[in-house]
Amino acid sequence: MLYNKDMKMPEVFTRKNRILLNELTKTDFKLRYQGSVLGYLWALIRPMLLFGILYLVFAKFLRFGDEIPFYPVYLLTGTVLWSFFTECTNQGIQSLIIRSGLMRKIYFPKWIIVLSATTTALINLGINLLVVVIFALASGVSFSLSWLLVPILVLELYLLSIGLALFLGSINVKYRDIGSIWEVLLQALFYAVPIIYPLSLVVSYNEFAAKILMLNPIAQVIQDIRFSLITPETITGWGIIENIFLKFIPILITIIILAVGILVFKKKSKYFAEEI
């Protein structure tokens, strides 16, 4: 029963929202691989294929990362995290359009749609990170207590992704070009984050450019996870940025993007049914 006068309103809506979120997440996950021969295996295959291509081209032919300990694990970690960020934002942006029919039929908080889409991406990330851990151990990486920091860093990247998905998704309802523009921006952003190339390469050419690069929350999270999971020799923003206040800029950017995304989404969600 979803409504009872004797029940407190916040509790009713919390329970109802939780049930709806759970059902939408399960449906999104099933529909995404429906009709596919390999099915759920694509959650693993996509980032692994990208990793394989990047490893052959940049590690074997161009000799990137020769000086980086466990470079294959280093590259795989960056690839998996980048795949999560792109999937989370792309699916979040398009989710309102995909679920437009549902929004017209019943009333419910629209943010649940975006959250369910990004939760599906988070599930895929969990599966892929398990592969990363197995690959790391098989490659000789030793377990350390710093691995416990990884979930906190993943949460930071997830909050950044949700903020962008809420902001861009709410605009995409009216202006459908946003999704396409974002895909182009992602292509450019890919090369602005040290996924393929080691940050030490940027430092050797221009240390100031490396510091600017590490103000990007995505770069900060990827390098911090590499530092915590793979090797403490990984260069991070905490290590190369001297100013204590500048060290927290990526976290501040994440908080601002999340706050702006929530505010814009809340303002525009009233008109979604009309604009769709």
Q: Are 258 and 159 in contact (CB under 8 A)?
A: yes
Residue 6 lies in a domain: no
What is the per-residue burial (b if ≥16 Cβ within 10 Å, else e) of 257-266?
bbeebbebbe
Cβ neighbours of residue 115 closer than 8 Å, sequence gap 6 or more: 21, 162
Residue 221 has pLDDT above 70, yes or no: yes
Residue 29 lies in a domain: no
Please give the average per-residue pLDDT across 19-27, as a whole number.
74
Mean pLDDT, rounded, of the chain? 83
- Give the chain's domain count: 1
Q: Are 75 and 55 in contact (CB under 8 A)?
A: yes
Q: Tens digits of per-residue pLDDT, 57-71?
A: 766 666 666 677 888
**Domain residue limits at 233:** 38-275
Residue 267 lies in a domain: yes
Residue 74 lies in a domain: yes
Residue 67 lies in a domain: yes
Residue 271 lies in a domain: yes
pLDDT at 12: 39
Give the Cα separation of 111 and 261 in Å (integer). Answer: 11
Residue 25 lies in a domain: no
What Cα–Cα distance (Å) separates residue 246 from each residue in 110, 212, 240, 256? 35, 10, 11, 15
Percent of the chain scored above 70 by pLDDT?
84
The band of 263, judged by pLDDT with boundaries at 50, 70 and 90, is very high
Residue 4 lies in a domain: no
Please give the average per-residue pLDDT across 97-114, as a whole number.
79
Residue 154 has pLDDT above 70, yes or no: yes
Q: Are 273 and 104 in contact (CB under 8 A)?
A: yes
The band of 2, judged by pLDDT with boundaries at 50, 70 and 90, is very low
